[in-house]
């Protein structure tokens, strides 16, 4: 969980990032998180829903509204769905923040919203073995920052599943760390070294 103070509107935003590994598998954990922590914002990855099933988020989480995408849009458009579902990123925001929320951009691998003077980026990068993984990661990060740049005065929080050990010598890890350095982003896991688990691939970066 990350708690962000919004100086413009004088409120705190409690945010959580979570890889669902499927909508039905992830919902019980999210329900527990809501009961225990009551987050304002959820950055969720791998919900595995098709475009026509995205309504299930608004149906299940009545206190939140959603903004996101299915990673299977092109697959469904090509014909009958075959094989296992995959991917998808969606961000849930508390209903009481609707008037302060602006949607900036939505793509297969990332979602960007603004709440007050805070930009929240929800990202899911390809795992090892994915075709053109390095290129996809670099292009995704470049696109994200191109959308963030017009909001230069805002705080930026990027969180999600980077699918790589950021302390490894992996070329993707080096690209992500270089991106963070060039964009003046701080890795939040380095602020709490006793709780670090960089090998998980989950990470939050922020720029105050």
Query: Quick one: which of 70, 59, 74, 73 has its CA closest to 22?
Result: 70
**What's the CATH number for 2-207?**
3.60.10.10
Asked if residue 38 lies in contact with residue 92, where contact means CB atoms within 8 angstroms, the answer is no
Tokens representing 201 are 């691939």
DSSP bridge pairs for 65: 93
Each residue's pLDDT tens digit, 88-125 = 999 999 999 999 999 999 999 999 999 999 999 999 99
* Radius of gyration for the alpha carbons in the chain, expressed in angstroms and rounded: 16
Domain boundaries, the chain: 2-207
Mean pLDDT score of the chain: 87
- How far is the C-alpha of 175 from the C-alpha of 166, rounded, in Å? 9
pLDDT at 199: 56
| pLDDT higher than 50, residue 160 | yes
- How far is the C-alpha of 76 from the C-alpha of 130, rounded, in Å? 20
Higher confidence at residue 21 or residue 87?
Answer: 21
pLDDT at 8: 47
Tokens representing 197 are 């688990």
For 47, residues 6+ apart whose C-beta sits below 8 A from its C-beta are 20, 22, 23, 26, 57, 68, 70, 88, 89, 90
Tokens representing 164 are 């790589």
Each residue's pLDDT tens digit, 44-71 = 999 999 989 999 999 999 999 999 988 7
For 147-174, what is the mean pLDDT?
93
DSSP bridge pairs for 11: 6
Each residue's pLDDT tens digit, 161-206 = 999 999 999 999 999 999 999 999 998 888 776 666 655 567 788 8
Higher confidence at residue 176 or residue 79?
Answer: 176
Higher confidence at residue 202 or residue 143?
Answer: 143
């Amino acid at each position: 969980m990350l708690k962000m103070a919004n100086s413009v509107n004088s409120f705190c935003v409690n945010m959580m990032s979570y890889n669902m590994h499927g909508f039905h598998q992830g919902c019980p954990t999210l329900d527990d998180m809501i009961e225990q922590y009551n987050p304002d914002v959820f950055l969720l990855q791998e919900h595995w829903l098709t475009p026509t099933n995205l309504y299930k988020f608004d149906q299940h989480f009545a206190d939140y509204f959603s903004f996101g995408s299915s990673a299977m849009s092109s697959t469904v458009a090509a014909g009958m769905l075959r094989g296992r579902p995959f991917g998808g990123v969606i961000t849930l925001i508390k209903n009481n923040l609707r008037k302060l929320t602006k949607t900036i951009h939505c793509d297969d691998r990332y979602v960007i919203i603004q709440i007050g003077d805070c930009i929240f980026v929800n990202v899911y990068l390809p795992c090892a073995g994915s075709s053109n993984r390095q290129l996809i990661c670099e292009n995704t990060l470049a696109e994200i920052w191109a959308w963030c740049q017009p909001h230069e005065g805002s705080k930026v929080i990027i969180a999600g599943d980077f699918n790589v050990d950021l302390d490894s010598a992996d070329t993707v890890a080096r690209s992500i760390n270089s991106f963070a350095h060039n964009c003046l982003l701080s890795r939040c896991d380095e602020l709490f070294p006793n709780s670090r688990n960089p090998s998980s691939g989950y990470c939050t970066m922020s720029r105050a």
